[in-house]
Amino acid sequence: MLAVALQAGAAERKTDETEAIIVEGRRERSTVVLDEPVLTGSRLGIDAFDLPASVSVISHELIQLRGARTAMEAIESAVGMTGGTSVGSIPNYATRGFAGNDITVMRDGIRQNTASQSSRPLDSFLFERIEVLKGPASLLYGEGAVGGAINYVSKLPDDTTKAEIIASAGSWNTYRTGFGVGGPAGVDKLHYRFDVSQSQSDGYVDDSGYDYTAVAGALRYDATDDTTLTLQSTFLKDSVSSYYGTPLVYDAVIDQNGTQSVRRANSATDRLVNARIDARTRRLSYDNIDNWSKADNSFTRFIVDSNLSDRWTLRNETYVATQHMDWRNTESTVWNPATQLVERSSFFLIYRNDLQLGNRVDLRWSGALAGRPNTFLIGALYDDNEQIRNSGQTYAASPTPANVPLVGFDRGYGPDVRYQRTVKVTTQNAAVYVENIYEPVNHLKVVGGLRYEQIDVERVSYVGADPYTRSYDPITGRLGVIFEASDALNLYASYSRAAQPVSQLVSLTVSQDDFSLQKGVQYEVGAKASIQGTDLTLALFDIEKQDVLTTNIVDGARINSQIGQQVSQGAEFAVAFTLPGEFRVDTHAAWTWKAEYEDFFENLGSGVISRGGNTPPNVPKFVAGLFIVKPLGDWELSAGARHVGERQANNNNGIQLDAYTTFDASVAYRWNDAQIVLRGRNLSDEEYAEWASGSGLMVRLADPRSFELGLKYSF
């Protein structure tokens, strides 16, 4: 929770106007905001200081200060968050011992059913802020989100005219531009917002370039003193030459019995001998030449906000989202020490054509219950998501040539196949939820909520397969207490519960029909404080994901059952302070001392193997960050360091990704309304794997040292 510069406490916020302005400036440069509501943590409109949960906020100002070009770079500035790109060029995230589908990504609080839509690679310029809620989030966002939730918050019209232009150029022919403007539209009671951004790069790895385009616009009409109408739309287009990963090179393998042999590894059972990245492969791509990853997404919503009375408010939000995605590439490039060749297989096509429609309404009341302050909210949501896929389409599985030397090879082309629409999956979700915050006595608040959902999934085949239907009706929620130890210190404890299917809803099949939703439970205690100019946060958490699908042998037969568990325990801490000389220091750390499977077995085809005690892939035990800013008149210097601990590359834990530490720095000069910035990233030229793909026998390598020159003009 955590993370950094919390405001001065309530007592400090009551000081004179000059001090208040200073505090506000510090808040904008922190990832935790305590004196204003955070949309991702609650719909009650209460300040984050009174929320018994961990929420980090990466504001637009902070994104610019740290030079975060993409959503993933921005999110990694939050305490304990790590990210990496995997199949389909889709960003993945890990926190609190969970990764991948356990982390839900949303746009303006709207959850979409597939990561390929909500988690496309995005330029960060369009966001007003990004909020990260730690732990189970099903109360607010429905099934899923056992490990946490990420919310992209769009820019909306302001009452004053503001404009911003950015432009930058950097290593590997990387270019980025953005323009945003908003304010009164010149028509009475009408305000507007318009933003556009474009970024492109050749990429450090050969043929790994990208091109992102985004356009967003919004109109707000103040119909009356108590009612506003807002129409907001975002259109995104990305085209990526996928870099799926670099093969690990190894001399031999050691099997379960300790026998060493020279052959291709079985990632489910083997350990690698002398595993390494060959320096000659650092910039090579093993993807077929005709690979691509393309997506077009849109998101539009119409919002009505109305103050019905002094105590009652109403918010209704109608939304529509579309997605079209094409992906074509080879998913597996694995080294074979026996043949001294890289074996390329698992050629794959992905086709997506989705339409999501929904409506959400919230009715909130603020007043007194038994003479004590109380705020209550009741809401309802209906969501219909139609998703057309090429799931199950069959075609040749390898590119030509299928096997290539480690260096000096012809990448060749994938099989001559085209997309075939095979299935339409419709997911309908009807939900009712309540939240409440009550102060029974002075200095003590009780915050809680419940959510009931009715989820219906229908899978209709275009190629003659039997239809499939499945329904779920989970109840999830959160209960917490906040104790105001002083004006500047809040202590809290909370219990939260989530529900998650054994697979993404769009991927459910008849073979998974008998399985219920997995359950996620978290216990968390923590503190939020600002004491004598030092701002700090602390959280201790214990998460258990229950009813994980696993394989067992019963009476000699192999069966699937939901008896598996995944658990994590840890702590997150952050502190921000100012040293003499106006050095602003912002540092945080997350230590997940326990992140492992329990009672979990995997099917090997020839038998089953226990994963009990193993760590899930791509989950570090330790993550820490440090960021320092020093203003010098019109100049501003900044430097940052980030450390990510060792991670496992697969469920077998036979392959480890080394820990790494990176250093960034920038120098900026402001002239009137313009600022020019020279920025260096990974200045120590650390070579490291940011994410393990597939079986862990290939990893995605991060960029080496790079530089960027940027210009920002605000008016």
pLDDT (mean) for 15-43: 57
pLDDT-based confidence at residue 401 (cuts at 50, 70, 90): very high
Lowest-pLDDT choice from 35-49, 112-126, 132-146? 112-126
| Per-residue pLDDT at 2 exceeds 80 | no
Token pair recorded at residue 335: 């080294």
Sign of CA dihedral 449, 454, 460, 465: positive
Query: What CA–CA distances, in Å, run from 3 to 77, 105, 243, 529, 530?
Result: 9, 20, 32, 11, 12
Domain-located, residue 1: no
| Per-residue pLDDT at 348 exceeds 50 | yes
Domain-located, residue 3: no
Torsion of CA 690, 695, 696, 699, to 10 degrees: -50
| 710 exposure class (CB count in 10 Å sphere: 0-12, 13-18, 19+) | buried
Domain-located, residue 565: yes
Lowest-pLDDT choice from 78-92, 94-108, 319-333, 665-679? 78-92
Domain-located, residue 107: yes
With contact defined as beta carbons under 8 Å apart, do 191 and 184 qualify?
Answer: yes
pLDDT (mean) for 533-561: 76
Residues 6+ apart with CB under 8 A from 251: 262, 273, 274, 337
The pLDDT value recorded for residue 8 is: 34
With contact defined as beta carbons under 8 Å apart, do 5 and 27 qualify?
Answer: yes
Percentages helix, strand, coil for the chain (3-state, rounded to 5) are 10, 60, 35
DSSP string, 217-269: EEEEE--SSSEEEEEEEEEEEEEE-----EEPB-SEEE-TTS-EE-S---TTT
Domain-located, residue 575: yes
pLDDT-based confidence at residue 551 (cuts at 50, 70, 90): low
The pLDDT value recorded for residue 380 is: 97
pLDDT-based confidence at residue 508 (cuts at 50, 70, 90): confident
The residue with greater pLDDT, 439 or 330, is 439
Query: What CA–CA distances, in Å, run from 154 to 129, 134, 218, 415, 675?
Result: 7, 20, 10, 41, 24
The pLDDT value recorded for residue 113 is: 65
Nearest to 8 by CA among 484, 22, 629, 29: 22
Burial 25-49 (b: 16+ CB within 10 A, else e): ebbebbbbbbbebbbbbbbbbbbbb
pLDDT-based confidence at residue 694 (cuts at 50, 70, 90): low
SS (H, E, C) 267-301: CCCCEEECCECCHHHCCCCCCCCCCEEEEEEEEEE
Domain-located, residue 504: yes
- Beta-bridged to residue 137, according to DSSP, are none
pLDDT-based confidence at residue 563 (cuts at 50, 70, 90): low
Domain-located, residue 5: no
State the residue for tokens 């996928």.
Answer: 242
pLDDT (mean) for 258-285: 92
Q: pTM value?
A: 0.91
Phi, then psi, of 559 in degrees rounded to 5: -130, 155
The pLDDT value recorded for residue 571 is: 97
Full domain range(s) for residue 449: 10-714
| Per-residue pLDDT at 414 exceeds 70 | yes
Cα 1 to Cα 492: distance, rounded to the nearest angstrom: 12
Tell me the Ramachandran region of residue 598: left when phi exceeds 0, alpha when psi lies from -120 to 50, beta otherwise: beta
Nearest to 499 by CA among 466, 521, 523: 521
Sign of CA dihedral 95, 96, 99, 101: negative
pLDDT (mean) for 138-157: 88
The pLDDT value recorded for residue 533 is: 75
With contact defined as beta carbons under 8 Å apart, do 596 and 615 qualify?
Answer: yes
Peptide bond into 401 cis (omega under 30): yes
Cα 184 to Cα 198: distance, rounded to the nearest angstrom: 25
| Per-residue pLDDT at 645 exceeds 80 | yes
Residues 6+ apart with CB under 8 A from 212: 121, 122, 123, 197, 198, 199, 200, 236, 237, 238
The pLDDT value recorded for residue 511 is: 65
The pLDDT value recorded for residue 32 is: 60
Query: What CA–CA distances, in Å, run from 101 to 113, 115, 245, 473, 698?
Result: 10, 8, 20, 20, 20
The pLDDT value recorded for residue 292 is: 87
Domain-located, residue 4: no
pLDDT (mean) for 347-366: 94
pLDDT (mean) for 320-331: 90
- Beta-bridged to residue 9, according to DSSP, are none
If one counts every other C-beta atom within 10 angstroms of the C-beta of residue 570, the result is: 21
Query: What CA–CA distances, in Å, run from 489 to 154, 337, 373, 411, 640?
Result: 31, 59, 20, 60, 28
Q: pLDDT tens, 380-398? A: 999 999 999 998 888 877 8
CATH number at residue 174: 2.40.170.20
If one counts every other C-beta atom within 10 angstroms of the C-beta of residue 315, the result is: 17
Q: What percent of the chain has pLDDT over 70?
A: 91
Cα 249 to Cα 342: distance, rounded to the nearest angstrom: 9
pLDDT (mean) for 158-167: 95
Quote the DSSP letter at residue 70.
B
| Per-residue pLDDT at 440 exceeds 90 | yes
The pLDDT value recorded for residue 37 is: 80
| Per-residue pLDDT at 705 exceeds 70 | yes
The residue with greater pLDDT, 292 or 680, is 680
Give the count of domains, the chain: 1
Strand residues in 393-533 grouped as ranges (E) = 403-404, 423-441, 444-461, 468-472, 475-486, 489-500, 518-531
CA 494 to chain centre: 23
Lowest-pLDDT choice from 111-125, 403-417, 462-476, 622-636? 111-125
Q: pLDDT tens, 451-495? A: 999 999 999 999 988 888 889 999 999 999 999 999 899 999 999
Tell me the Ramachandran region of residue 388: left when phi exceeds 0, alpha when psi lies from -120 to 50, beta otherwise: beta
Rounded to a whole number of angstroms, the CA Rg of the chain reads 25
Q: What is the mean pLDDT of the chain?
A: 88
| Per-residue pLDDT at 4 exceeds 60 | no
The pLDDT value recorded for residue 350 is: 87
**Terminal-residue alpha carbon distance, the chain:** 34
Residues 6+ apart with CB under 8 A from 676: 668, 669, 709, 710, 711, 712
pLDDT (mean) for 61-82: 93
The pLDDT value recorded for residue 450 is: 96
With contact defined as beta carbons under 8 Å apart, do 433 and 449 qualify?
Answer: yes
* Sheet containing 91-95, strands listed edge to edge, beginning at the edge strand earlier in sequence: 82-85, 91-95, 98-99
Cα 303 to Cα 9: distance, rounded to the nearest angstrom: 33
pLDDT-based confidence at residue 132 (cuts at 50, 70, 90): very high
